[in-house]
């Protein structure tokens, strides 16, 4: 009986050793038939020219852009974003901003972002610029709405914010209709920059693009902007337009 028990124990030990030998060594290459180890710290990058467009405004026409890109891992990224408008013809004035943000994933399809924003307005008169601290979120809301709520704190302590949302509606596999909403608000009134307290403006846009390739899509569309509240009052005092309806045409591409 003792010999039988000893034989059974020896068989179990042999089976365990065989299992260990069959398992791929930790940190080494996988044996044939085993999946390759996953490297979740690999560096990736992405660059999107979301808007490169000519705008036929009610006033002076302009060339507008909205570009953003990132480099980093699945969890941590460095984002660079820039947008603005250059008046046409050259010398008509315009505005531009650049953001540099650290981004970290906090949930599936959602990142929290923080960093700095530099804003500059130029034209026939004196140029104006400001620096802001930035805190916000970026991600996909239910039903695949792309949403980006952001808070800005200027170098003078003025607090403002921006909410943008868009949605891609597939008419066909290549023809895509994109409605977009953007609105800015401010806690304090800043007369030097024509910013009133409360909701400053609302912008509604609709673009129809055709993806010749997934990375290259020309588009046409329409954009309507309206200044609101105290911002509209200050615009009236300086003779600026309150509302603007523009026809747009451009290209969207990414790498």
Q: Which residues of the chain have pLDDT under 70?
A: 1-40
The full set of domains in the chain, from first to last, is 52-254 (2.40.160.40)
Residue (of 94, 81, 85) closest to 46 by Cα position:
81
User: Residue 162: what pLDDT?
Assistant: 98
User: Residue 41: what pLDDT?
Assistant: 81
User: Residue 125: what pLDDT?
Assistant: 77
User: Residue 247: what pLDDT?
Assistant: 98
User: Residue 92: what pLDDT?
Assistant: 82
């Amino acid at each position: 009986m003792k010999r039988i028990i000893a034989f059974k124990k020896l068989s179990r030990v042999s089976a365990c050793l065989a299992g260990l030998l069959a398992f791929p060594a930790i940190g080494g290459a996988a044996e044939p038939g085993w999946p390759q180890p996953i490297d979740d710290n690999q560096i990736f990058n992405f660059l999107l020219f979301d808007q490169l467009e000519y705008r036929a405004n009610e006033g002076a026409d302009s060339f507008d852009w909205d570009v953003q890109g990132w480099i980093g891992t699945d969890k941590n990224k460095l984002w660079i974003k820039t947008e603005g408008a250059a008046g046409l013809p050259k010398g008509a004035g315009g505005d531009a901003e650049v953001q540099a943000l650290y981004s970290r994933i906090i949930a599936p399809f959602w990142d929290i972002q923080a960093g700095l924003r530099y804003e500059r307005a130029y034209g026939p008169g004196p140029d104006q610029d400001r620096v802001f601290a930035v805190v916000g979120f970026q991600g996909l809301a239910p039903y695949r709405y792309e949403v980006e709520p952001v808070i800005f704190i200027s170098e003078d302590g003025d607090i403002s914010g921006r909410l943008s949302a868009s949605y891609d509606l597939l008419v066909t596999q290549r023809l895509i209709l994109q409605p977009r909403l953007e609105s800015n608000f401010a806690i304090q009134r800043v007369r030097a920059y024509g910013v009133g307290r409360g909701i400053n403006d609302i912008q509604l846009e609709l673009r129809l693009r055709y993806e010749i390739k997934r990375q290259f899509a020309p588009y046409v569309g329409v954009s309507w902007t309206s200044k609101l509240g105290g911002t509209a009052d200050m615009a009236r005092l300086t003779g600026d337009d309150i509302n603007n309806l523009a026809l747009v045409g451009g290209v969207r591409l990414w790498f």
